[in-house]
Amino acid sequence: MFPIRLRALRKGQNISMNQLAHNLNEKFPEDDHKNTPSQIGNWERGIRSPSYVEIKKLALYFNVSMDYLTGRTSIEHVNLGETLMAENELTFGNHTLDQRDRYEVYQLINGYLHGKDQNYLEDGQEDTAHQEELNLNFDDFKI
């Protein structure tokens, strides 16, 4: 399970083995043992198993639990607010989100959820009387 999850996490962030090795070495400079792309490839192919220290580094880097990485649990719940405000590197596509980006995304989600709650009546039905219509008439916009 570990090789599959490591590969999925790495590819999910669209980073190469070279980049992961570099990022780990940069994020954990106090470790005397430097990570290499071939080492990561061996882990992903199941040829070698990482040490406890390496699993811990990977879990911190990818912001997952060690239990998840080793296949003991699956991610069933993620608190997006905590994830956005954590110190881990967070990317969206090819863009790394800085603290300002994270705060803006947090505010957008928070505003959406607050507005969504306001648009529903007590019986759970959507309150369409107070919704604004989106003007998609591009002729109204001047450049």
Q: What is the pLDDT of residue 141?
A: 47
Work out the pLDDT band at 20, boundaries 50, 70, 90. very high
46 and 68 belong to one structural domain: yes
92 and 45 belong to one structural domain: no
Work out the pLDDT band at 54, boundaries 50, 70, 90. very high
CA distance 133 to 110: 21
Q: Is 138 inside any structural domain?
A: no
What's the domain range around 26?
A: 2-77
Work out the pLDDT band at 129, boundaries 50, 70, 90. low
Q: Is 25 inside any structural domain?
A: yes
- Per residue in 86-128, pLDDT (tens digit) is 777 888 888 888 889 989 998 998 888 888 777 665 556 655 5
67 and 102 belong to one structural domain: no
71: left (phi over 0), alpha (psi -120 to 50) or beta: left
103 and 119 belong to one structural domain: yes
The per-residue DSSP string of 76-125 comes to: ----HHHHHHSSS--EETTEE--HHHHHHHHHHHHHHHHHHHHTB-TTS-
Which of 61, 77, 93 finishes a domain?
Answer: 77
> 109-117, long-range: CB within 8 Å, 24+ apart, which pairs?
109/80, 109/81
18 and 60 belong to one structural domain: yes
Q: Tokens 């001047």 identify what position?
A: 142
66 and 86 belong to one structural domain: no
Q: Number of structural domains, the chain?
A: 2
70 and 86 belong to one structural domain: no
Work out the pLDDT band at 1, boundaries 50, 70, 90. confident
pLDDT-wise least confident of 53-57, 65-69, 88-92 = 88-92
Do the Cβ atoms of 5 and 71 come closer than 8 Å?
Answer: yes
